[in-house]
Amino acid sequence: MGVEGASGPDEQARASKTGRPSRQKSEELTARILDVATGMFAAQGYAGTSMEKIAAACGAGKDTVYRRFPSKEALFRGVIERIRARALRSLEMTVPPVGAPLERLKVAGHWFLTAHLEPQQIAMKRITLSEAAMFRQSLADGAGSDPTVRCLIELIETAQTSGDLAKGEAAFIADQLIYSLTVKPITYAMLGSAAFASTEARDAYFEQAWELFMRGAGKRAD
């Protein structure tokens, strides 16, 4: 008995007869559209990218792209969602699944600094800020809609439970940690500066920011 929704030979045969792509082919095409769109948005900006250009570059008909993403805004949001999903997987692979809570939090903090300085991340931040009116809801939601931030909040709560961090609203503490680690480096990168391009520069900045964070959020003596 076959599993409902499986993409097996029978489904592929039916798809071939009807002219529809199989589920696997459809998913591959969606991934290719997102790949091309990500590269174009990063290189040409939001205004310089069109659905027609994306369709031509990925070898798909314009109608095919619109069936998956009804507008350029929807496609851009799809790009951002995939970047966030991939970032979450990267964070989960970077932070040890077990260990001292504070050390796990520190590893996550270092990941935030490094990941947010990746060229693709910087390019997407430029677009989001330049098109602030269009993406105002995303900006209003802030970090709360980012799964990597939710992961950081959980790590902070664990460190609070273990007594390594002072009590307080974990979401607020997460925001302050992210701001202290990333705002200056991201601003420099968006302005074209290479001040934080080297591993040494990022590590030195991270240690200073982490020390300052711990002075404010670390466990206080009774």
Question: Domain limits of the chain?
Answer: 20-70, 79-222
CB distance 22 to 15 below 8 Å: yes
Q: Domain 79-222 maps to which CATH number in 1.10.240.10, 1.10.357.10, 3.40.50.720, 3.90.1150.10?
A: 1.10.357.10
Q: Mean pLDDT per 10-residue run, the chain (222 residues)? A: 42 49 85 94 90 92 92 91 92 96 98 94 85 59 74 96 95 95 95 95 97 90 56
Return the closest-CA partner of residue 197 out of 122, 143, 128.
122
d(C-alpha 22, C-alpha 18), whole Å? 10
Superfamily of domain 20-70: Homeodomain-like (1.10.10.60)
Give the global pTM.
0.80
CB distance 45 to 130 below 8 Å: yes
Length of the chain, in residues: 222
The two three-digit tokens of residue 97, written as one number: 């699944």
Residue listed under structure tokens 């994306």:
54
